[in-house]
Amino acid sequence: MAAKWMSVAEVKQQILESSAEELTANYLETINKSKINGYITVSDKALEQAKKIDIEGLKGPLAGVPIAIKDNISVKGLPNSCGSKMLKNYIPPFNAHVIEKLLEAGAVILGKTNMDEFAMGSSTESSYFGPTLNPWDLERVPGGSSGGSAAVVAAGEAPFALGSDTGGSVRCPAAFCGVVGLKPTYGAVSRYGAVAYANSLEQIGPLANNVSDIAVLMDVIAGPDARDSTSAPNAKPEYQAALKADIKGLRIGVPKEYFGEGINPGVEKAVWAAIQRCEELGAFWEEVSMPHTKYALASYYIIAMSEASSNLARFDGTRYGFRAEGETWHSLISKTRAEGFGAEVKRRILLGTYALSAGYHDKYYLKALKVRSLVKQDFEKALGKVDVLMAPTMPNPAFKLGERLEDPLSLYLSDVNTVPINLAGVPSLSLPCGFTAGLPVGLQIIGKPFEEPTLLQTAYTFEQNTDYHNKRPPEVV
């Protein structure tokens, strides 16, 4: 059996019928034939790891199950490029917390996936390694910045994957590639070992072909970790226990601001049809208003760029990765940064430094923080009245490669429905809910802090009563 589009349960069954080694070999064969440039590195240790698991007797909930990892999450011994020339030869000497958990559970790391440089983008086109192609239409972007992770799952080149989401980077590519993606509550998953872009916003999150596999992954990766000071000490919920196909009585809020100007009519139609389907399944919906939504994008980009300008200061040629030749200490650093970073990263470092500089700090950065509080209050108020919010993940389906490259602002604008969630720190899941012009549409389900189980139950119920998650991209079959 070709290793394509299997759920974790099917993967496990397949391993019992053959072996972890054979299963991994099948995936590697599929990856070998790939047309989408989803992986930056394919692990040369995957087969060995799978073989060891066979010999040790399949211990752990993910024994022998392969997974793909975004290239900003450290896996010991594999390059962690962050999609950048700056780190293309950097090999971390340690595992991220989530990788330790995955290895303990018996998972096999297939490789590291393509991404926008340092996770800055929504199309995976800013990668130093060239763009990933959308499996549904090879002329289109897969979304970003975790575009590689979403695309390899959609193309059957991994059963599931990890990404990171600072302002939509798990949910946007999940929506564009027709897979499920979860941005957990801020603090639910340790970020130890993930390269920081904007710490106050980001979380590591899972991508999979179905909701159950998201829950399986969350049960493995979530929970407290003393090495991440923002990791929440709460006891972690049991995510798989939430997979009940029942949303009778669920109260859904539909924020009208998320259906704003410029929304693609096909996206709007598919999302409304999904909300109505939930109503038929016993949920109630009402319109809610989140009046500060229109300021969220500006606030997000000021905060994200400010944090990025500080975080990326460490890449100076004296510690990690790329180093240019320079006569003096100063010229070494400036040449390293000029040659090592791409255009989008430089733009953000410049803008972030400006927003934090003396004289502008109050006007931009502090103001953005105040707006962030207002956006957060919108969520507290809305989620005080309803159990979940539903909205389009992205206002448009996947766009053509190159279409927005000349105009960074048009790319930033497409994050309008994802960034408010990161400002508020609440959990949010993107779920395939239909198609427009042959391209997948994502339904975004947003919840209260640490109520991922409600999101999973809602998404699972929808999935059990629809067929979108079983649709596969025609190009790669």
Rounded Cα gap, residues 310 and 352, in angstroms: 8
Size of the site for ligand GLN (CB under 6 A): 13
- If the CB atoms of residues 43 and 149 are measured against ligand GLN, the closer one turns out to be 149
Rounded Cα gap, residues 460 and 211, in angstroms: 6
Rounded Cα gap, residues 166 and 200, in angstroms: 9
Min dist. Cβ of residue 145 to ligand GLN (A): 4
CB under 6 A: which stretch of 129-137, 164-172, 220-228, 317-325 binds ligand GLN?
A: 164-172
Residue of the chain from 165, 219, 452, 463 that contacts ligand GLN (CB under 6 A): 165
- If the CB atoms of residues 167 and 449 are measured against ligand GLN, the closer one turns out to be 167
Min dist. Cβ of residue 406 to ligand GLN (A): 16
Distances (CA, A) of 115 to 144, 145, 171, 253: 7, 5, 14, 33
Rounded Cα gap, residues 115 and 128, in angstroms: 9
Residues between 5 and 44 with contacts to ligand GLN, criterion CB under 6 A? none
Q: At what angle do helices 211-221 and 97-104 cross, to 10 degrees?
A: 110
Contact 253, 379 (CB under 8 A): no
Report which residue's Cβ sits closest to ligand GLN: 169
Q: Does 302 bind ligand GLN (CB under 6 A)?
A: no
Q: Does 120 bind ligand GLN (CB under 6 A)?
A: yes
* Site pattern 180..219 for ligand GLN (x: CB under 6 A): -----------------x----------------------
Residue of the chain from 304, 401, 426, 459 that contacts ligand GLN (CB under 6 A): 304
Rounded Cα gap, residues 60 and 102, in angstroms: 9
Residue of the chain from 24, 166, 309, 430 that contacts ligand GLN (CB under 6 A): 166
- If the CB atoms of residues 53 and 416 are measured against ligand GLN, the closer one turns out to be 416
- If the CB atoms of residues 75 and 201 are measured against ligand GLN, the closer one turns out to be 201
* Site pattern 399..438 for ligand GLN (x: CB under 6 A): ----------------x-----------------------
Residue of the chain from 80, 134, 149, 169 that contacts ligand GLN (CB under 6 A): 169
Q: Does 355 bind ligand GLN (CB under 6 A)?
A: no
CB under 6 A: which stretch of 102-110, 113-121, 388-396, 455-463 binds ligand GLN?
A: 113-121
Min dist. Cβ of residue 115 to ligand GLN (A): 8
Min dist. Cβ of residue 105 to ligand GLN (A): 26
CB under 6 A: which stretch of 162-170, 211-219, 282-290, 455-463 binds ligand GLN?
A: 162-170
Which one of the listed residues 169, 231, 309, 428 is annotated catalytic? Answer: 169
Which one of the listed residues 12, 19, 43, 70 is annotated catalytic? Answer: 70
Contact 239, 222 (CB under 8 A): yes
Residue of the chain from 121, 159, 184, 206 that contacts ligand GLN (CB under 6 A): 121
**For this structure, is 70 an active site residue?**
yes
Min dist. Cβ of residue 358 to ligand GLN (A): 25
**For this structure, is 145 an active site residue?**
yes
Binding residues for ligand GLN, rule: CB under 6 A, are 119-122, 145, 165-169, 197, 304, 415
Q: Catalytic positions, please? A: 70, 145, 169
